[in-house]
Structures are given as C-alpha cells and as structure tokens.
Amino acid sequence: MSRAPGADAGAGGGAGPHPHPEPTVPAAPPAAAPDLVPGSLAKDTARDRVGVVVVRTDACVRLRPLKGGAFWEAAPTEVTRLSEREAMSARLVIANAGRRWGK
C-alpha cells in the first residue's frame, strides 16, 4: 500500500514541520455583551451612569439617560447589564420622571 506524498502528514509517523505554518491571528477586541439589546437598561462603568441602550455595535454602545436628555457613547467593554436590584431602581426613576408631584 503506497501513500501519496503529503497525505496524512504530521499525523504520527515523525513527519517534519508543516511546510505552511498556521498564521497568527491577533486577538479580537472583546465584543459588547450579547444581552445589551436596544431598550435594555445598562450601566456605563467608566462614567458611573445608568441609561437605556439605544444602539449596540461592536465598536460602541449608545445610551440614553433614564430621564431623557442627550445620548452618550461608551466602549462595549465598559457597559454592563444592570443587576435585578439596579434595574428595579432604574425603572422607578423612569416611572417617577413622568409624574408631577401634587397632581
């Protein structure tokens, strides 16, 4: 039984180094957390601010303040989803923002 040249090379048999080494691939930057979807509540840890996710890409996350106002952008690695307790507090802020005291 004869083998074709290069067939099953490197699979045992003491073959030399592979003629074409695997290229080194640089590590990809961490992507935004997959659970940060538009409408979810998140915290920008770099600015210590909480907001609503408006847009999420691999390059940035755009957030809106809970009570409205100007959007801001943050690096995906600096944005985390809120814990249940933080989310409950944030929802209360949103609910109270639409109410006026005394009415």
**Residues 38/53, Cβ–Cβ less than 8 Å:** yes
Give the mean pLDDT of 36-63.
Answer: 94
Residue boundaries of the structural domains of the chain: 41-97
pLDDT in tens, 54-75: 999 989 999 999 988 999 999 9
pTM of the model: 0.61
Half-sphere exposure of 93 (CA within 13 A, CB side): 14
Tokens describing residue 9: 């090379």
Q: Kindly indicate the confidence band of residue 93, based on its pLDDT and cuts at 50, 70 and 90.
A: confident
Identify the bridge partners of residue 73 per DSSP, sorted by sequence position.
62
> What pLDDT does residue 85 have?
94
**3-state secondary structure labels for all residues of 64-101:** EECCCCCCEEECHHHEEECCHHHHHHHHHHHHHHCCCC
> What pLDDT does residue 35 have?
79
